[in-house]
Structures are given as C-alpha cells and as structure tokens.
Amino acid sequence: MISLGSRVIRTIRPSPLRGEGRVRGHRALPDMWGPPHPNPLPAGEREKWGPGRRSGLVFLLVLLALVFAPAAMAQTPAIDAARAAGAVGERYDGYVGVAAPVSSAVRSQVSTINIRRRALYSRLAASRGVSPRDVGITAGCQLLARVAVGEAYVLGDGAWRRRGAGQGPPVPDYCR
C-alpha cells in the first residue's frame, strides 16, 4: 500500500503516459489544486460585481446577441424570401413560425432556427433560474419590435398578421 496525500492506493502499475502511476486503470494524480486563490477585487468591488451582477451582464449580452444574431443565424435567401412574402414570421414566444404553406426546405430551416433558439433559451434560463418559456417571451418582445413592414407575426391570440405600412412595431403590452 502506498500513501498519496490523504489517500491510500493499493496498486500502482507503470503507465506509458509520462511515467505517471495508474490505479486500477485510472491515473493517480496528486492534489494539484491547492488552496483557492484570493479574490483579486477589493472588498467594495466584490459586492458591485458579485454573482448576481455578472449573471445579469451575461444575460444582457446574450440577449443582445440574440437580437442581432437572427440576421446571421441561418438566414438564407429562401428564409428571407419567405419572410418578405409573409409565409414565415416571428412568434410572440421567441420562435419562428410558418404562417402559410412553404417548401420542405424552408420548413427545415425554420426548424433549425427554432432548435438553436431553444438551446439558447434553455442555457439562459438555467443560468438565470427562470423557465425557458420566460426567456423566449422576453426575446420575442425584442424580435417583434424588429418586424419589418410586410412581414408576418403572431401574438398570443394565435392569429397571424402582417405589419402594414405606417403601423408601429407589433409589441404587446406585456413587453412595455
């Protein structure tokens, strides 16, 4: 028996990996983490930039990325044409919806966009301690505010509409 720190190891066999020992098929590593590092921020700054503030900044940055990302998030000529035609549009819950019959390629691209958004909403929700639905609705408020004239959108009532010329952005009351 060999003692490594506070652990007792029964057998150590030579390993081809830089001479480290193996314990029942696993490398035996000493405690290399050591004591935790001191916080580099002064005491007053620790409260200012505490975990709540940092997660709020991360949430804001990711939300801003989401607002600017749809243009770069799998936007293809087919999706752009379907948006302009009013066949595809933004939904109140932060996802893209199909308002009229479209090709299977466009439907597949809409599905891909929604899968990416769902993953983003889930990550944000986990970091904020809220539901992915709440994150999606918050993002939906931002996305609905960017609906262009002639594009389709749907609010919570389920009726598809198209933004007309001279109309303001279709932002629900709960977004204000």
- Long-range pairs for 22-30: beta carbons < 8 A, 24 or more residues apart: 28/4, 30/4, 30/5
Domain that holds residue 110: 51-175
Position 34 in a domain: no
Position 160 in a domain: yes
Position 43 in a domain: no
**Consecutive 10-residue averages of pLDDT for the chain (176 residues):** 48 48 47 52 55 58 60 71 94 95 95 95 92 92 92 93 91 85
Token pair 């290399």 is found at 32
The domain total for the chain is 1
Position 45 in a domain: no
pLDDT of residue 65: 63
Q: What angle do CA 49, 174, 69 make, to 5 degrees?
A: 60
What is the value of pTM for the model shown? Answer: 0.60
pLDDT of residue 43: 59
pLDDT of residue 173: 86
